[in-house]
Chains A and B, each alone.
Chain A
Amino acid sequence: MAEVSVKNVTKKFGNFTALDDVSMEFPDGGFFALLGPSGSGKSTLLRTIAGFLFADSGSIHIGNKSVDLIPVEKREIGMMFQNYALFPNMTIADNVGFGLRVRKVSSDEERRRIGEALELVQLSTLGDRKPHQLSGGQRQRVALARAIVTNPRVLLLDEPLSALDKSLRVDMQVELKRIQHEIGITTIFVTHDQEEALTLSDKIGILREGRMIQSGPPRSVYNNPVDRFTAEFLGDANIVAENDGNGRLNVSGNPSIKIPEGAETASALAVRPESLSISATEPEQEGLSKVHGRLVQRMFAGAMSTCIVQCGSHTYKMVARDQDVPNLSEGENIWLSWKSAQTIVIP
């Protein structure tokens, strides 16, 4: 196991800058997510850490040693691919044992470690099958077993769960977290699914157009986004006030939105949909920010309900447990309110 550190890495493909001065620390044993829209450079970063690509400038350290001149096959990493990339000509056991055989491990030990790895992913009985005889979820487990069987220093996962359907994906998230915890391997995974990133990781790095916009623990990134892009990309955000261009926040003539102390010169204020409450009459409590508007749409989604509310030129989205939404019909005038402490200040 080892820590990974990426320092000022830049990578260009022709005129296109895929990574622009990217830095991030991945402490030993943690579970990290690289999150971003497609084309943000997250996969390029992962492939550069893996050693498939070499940075134009900057450097990458694994376990305090520079790996800048070490090609992928010597980097002692484990990698899992989006389509799993299981060798179709080999059995499951041979797939898992491939890295061991390359390392010329004795056949007794090879058998033992294949057994252990398959047991870890709960597929002990399927060693003799071929990949095409397995379900998507099983293949995913094999790919994981294959990636960790050589005791790599780092585990890299490229969109590991995106090929699975939703319910299986949630099961696999739990499984992945359990296995990572059990072996304590430094794990970096790439995803475009923000919920997955929040659920799994100890630390998130958000990329956009090749730049690392923000990195930190999920809760802190979620609650303190550094810019509007991050606020809107990681979860939903209602922008309630924007800077008017003269260095002052414009609350759209709505004095009942309270500007937090010291935030007068921020670029915007936002509030998460789940922070909002809805009521037919104006709420009276102290310390609330509130806006008046018209309920445009109410959508029932089982546990939660989503309301779309039009307040002047702003459209708000609100999410709450269905039982917490009073009996209102579409078209009614309503109030949205939130505790001022939940106002997100975007610097």
Chain B
Amino acid sequence: MVRRLIRASLLVPLIVMLTGCWDRNELNDLALVTALALDVGEDNQIDTTIQFLLPRSQSGVGGTGGGGGGSGTSRDTAVRHAQGSNIADALSKLQRRLPRKLFWGQCKIFIFGQGVAKKGVQESVDFLTRHPQPRERSYVFVSDGRAADTLELFPPLERSSAEVLRELSDMNIGFKLTLEQLSIKLISDSKAFAIPYIHILQKSKSAEPQQTIPYIYGTAIMKGDRMIGAMSEKVMRGMMWINNEVGEYTVSFGMKGSSDGLISLKPITAKIKLVPSISGDKWKMKVKAHVEGDMVQNETAYNPAQPTVLVEMDKAFEEAVRKRIELCLNQAQHQFNADIFDFAGVYHRKFPKLWEREKQNWDQRFPQVEVETEITAHIARSGLILAPGGMPKEEVME
């Protein structure tokens, strides 16, 4: 018994030695990639740029050093780039220029430069979803101009520009898209979708040259896997209404009759339902929306405590929502002819057999779809005060 135990215990250290920790990656040997930017390089090659964290302590490990001076802005990230015939090739070349192993497990941002987006993103998505390390839930963006430029920024808040983009997306204010959603949308019925479109914010006067952030400006409209245009933020909102993605943002609208002054509502809850119907050759889509909001500012002279006034206000609210939705619909249908709302999927689900026959004609069909909006809007709460604040009683219109 004892002998057997001794023999068995001799085997244990052998197991440890044999494996040799082949999969081991010491944290000190990893370059923690925060973002990857893809641009078109020379000779139609692909230019990959990575932003990685510099594991340098802000407080200073070696005690108090010589004191700041130098560049002023603390730089927690660095950027490096390489070109190749495709992403895999470019990244392997990039690895040769980096003493630490690229680690994608923490990379939450992928940015396509406008050039790449216009050429098509499908090949890139293949690499990113095939590789085991990049996360499917990281966010995807298209940048205005070169994507690498957005990584060369050193934001005054947050450690890196990648972190800024992630936080902005997480706040649910703007539109966001993950790699997983992108790979699903690429094969969807509509063959069109939107990707958040980022701009570089103009730096404030006192800031250092690169001390600014990228922000979500609107959406890039993709058809197939190519970018065909961009929508401004205001139009993007209409798409978010239809897609039921409205988060925390403020709607401002004017009242009929009083030309001066707006009413602002926030936050908005919306329930949207798309009801498709086909009569003969006419395809119709009814957008049913039920929206609610809380009043945060009232510049008009109307008192929302008055039921009759409130009904008027609700109507104005309704009109404002309708305008936004229709503006977006109009652009998508007639300017871009891109079904970014996935009406195709709705028709497919409702009329599966008919869809099989008609799907190749969707490109011609989509601009002709008659969209009807049916909106019920309601101001749920008026905030802490009723009558317009700071206005003498006589001036308030009941």
Partners in one complex: no
Q: Using a CB–CB distance below 8 Å, which chain A residues touch chain B?
A: none
Q: Using a CB–CB distance below 8 Å, which chain B residues touch chain A?
A: none
